[in-house]
Amino acid sequence: MVGHTNTGKTSLLRTLLHDADFGEVANAPATTRHVEGALLRLGDLKLQWYDTPGMEDSIALLDYLDQLQQQSGSRLDGPASIERFLDSPESSARFEQEARVLRQLLHCDAGLYVVDVREPVRSKHRDELAVLARCGRPLIPVLNFLHSTDNYSEDWKTVLSRLGLHLLIEFDTVAPAIDGEQQLYQKLALVLDDYQQILNDLAKGAQQRRQQRRLQGQELLAEMLIDISAFRRQSSTDEDESLRVWETMQDEVRRREHQFIRDLLNLYRFHESDYEEDRLPISGERWESDLFSSEALMDMGIRVGKGFAAGAMAGATVDIITGGLSLGAGTLVGGIVGGLWQGAEKVGNRLLGMLQGYRELTVDDPVLRLLAIRGLSLLDALDRRGHAAQDRIQRSANSYKSWQEEALPAPLKNARSHPEWSALNKEFKGSRARDEELRRLSEELKG
């Protein structure tokens, strides 16, 4: 990484390494004072990057190189003239920073010249490129800060073309394109024939890693939603007790969302301090039973005649205040006692509690929708965030119409009648059925 001071060289490496802690980034010149290396591994492939200090006095350095050329009495080629400079006293005095850059570039296979397109092209930039070109290494300009509304990217492209640098990379370190990393390796492969296969493999690997991160993020979100959809607590019909139970549930839901956020930030290698979490506004509770949902009937009434399920259950509702059944109570209880309802032991205690006047509290559908939208908007934001970004993470402003307007996905509806699917419940138990619903929900979260 080479270029003028404070153009984003360290920031580019942070983004490529997915490491927000690499080096030091500050809005001040000469932040990087020494050469710093970083090894990127992908399986058996290795790519060694070097971050270098910014060049500060290229105009005077170019004049000095010309003086050394004249003093030598012979015509030196580019690398030889740089070697002569590195052997001179000025390389450890006036031009110490520039010497570090040039010495490292001579030992590398190629250089990425990082450009801050918010700055107009000046003579110092032209002289920098002239000095760097003498190292005899492939040099690829990287146009940074392209998202800035006022930039000089077209001027830079024109000047670089006139200097013979026709191959360039557009890569915003703060908000890189989805395929930006992949394109960078592909363009490096064009100028490094000996490493073309390795760099193309790195490009392919970058795309695969991004897709894998996205899939893992969807799985984390799906697991949180299943946990909260299947989450329930029992309360008496006393209003004060119900309120206390519900407030405790709210806190548990908020903690579960915070755990998801923490896991997602860790997956994308960002810090919790990068994100200021806004409190989840929960206002929807369900004081009802899901025992009589269609999913519960399908799950536990398989070996019961159709007439039983349709007749005894179709109109059966629970009066949560009195704990009585308004229709079909005798048939229902008789079915359980007689063992006709397969799987009755799974719900026997819950049903008994209701018959004794207890109510069950679950999280309402609008809260699940909100959790899904908040999760997806954070996932989308992290997917497009570079590790050089200094501002706080802002949720994506994308539209999530399906979660706002359409019916909840079937896996969430099914989870309502499976309290054992929620890690928030004491009876939590992993199962193939839960895993399958997690997979289905993760697929639906693709959008």
pLDDT in tens, 2-23: 999 888 898 888 888 888 888 6
Paired with 116 in beta bridges are 144
* CA 86 vs CA 11, 98, 344: distances in Å: 28, 10, 84
DSSP conformational letter for 393: P
Is 417:343 a contact under the CB 8 Å cutoff?
no
Q: What is the fold, at CATH topology level, of the domain defined by 9-20+34-173?
A: Rossmann fold (3.40.50)
Using DSSP bridges, classify how beta strands 232-235 and 359-363 pair: parallel, antiparallel or unpaired: antiparallel
Rounded to an integer, the average pLDDT of 269-283 is 77
pLDDT reading at 309 higher than 80: no
Q: What local confidence, expressed as pLDDT, does residue 439 receive?
A: 97
pLDDT reading at 301 higher than 80: no
Give pLDDT tens digits for 158-178.
999 999 999 999 998 888 888
* Stronger pLDDT, 302 or 205, i.e. the higher one: 205
pLDDT reading at 380 higher than 80: yes
pLDDT band at 360 (very low <50, low <70, confident <90, very high): confident
- Alpha-carbon gap, residue 129 to 132, rounded angstroms: 5
pLDDT reading at 334 higher than 50: no
- Alpha-carbon gap, residue 310 to 428, rounded angstroms: 30
pLDDT band at 30 (very low <50, low <70, confident <90, very high): very low
* Stronger pLDDT, 71 or 151, i.e. the higher one: 151
Q: What local confidence, expressed as pLDDT, does residue 346 receive?
A: 52
Consecutive H or E run containing 362: strand 359-363
DSSP conformational letter for 4: B
Q: What local confidence, expressed as pLDDT, does residue 350 receive?
A: 58
pLDDT reading at 87 higher than 70: yes
Q: What local confidence, expressed as pLDDT, does residue 182 receive?
A: 92
What's CA 96's distance to the chain center, in Å? 40
Q: What local confidence, expressed as pLDDT, does residue 400 receive?
A: 86
Domain with CATH 3.40.50.300 in the chain: 9-20+34-173
Provide, rounded to the nearest whole percent, the portion of the chain with pLDDT above 90.
47
Helix, strand, coil: what percent of the chain each, to 5?
50, 10, 40
Rounded to an integer, the average pLDDT of 235-255 is 85
pLDDT reading at 312 higher than 80: no
Rounded to an integer, the average pLDDT of 115-129 is 95
Q: Is 8 left (phi over 0), alpha (psi -120 to 50) or beta?
A: left
Q: What local confidence, expressed as pLDDT, does residue 72 receive?
A: 75
* Stronger pLDDT, 43 or 291, i.e. the higher one: 43
Q: Which two tokens stand for residue 74?
A: 């012979």
Provide, rounded to the nearest whole percent, the portion of the chain with pLDDT above 70.
79
- Contacts by 23-26 with C-beta closer than 8 Å and gap 24+? 23/51, 25/388, 25/390
Task: Among 200-204, 212-216, 366-370, name the most confident range.
Answer: 212-216
Consecutive H or E run containing 286: strand 285-287
* CA 128 vs CA 132, 160, 299, 403: distances in Å: 6, 12, 72, 53
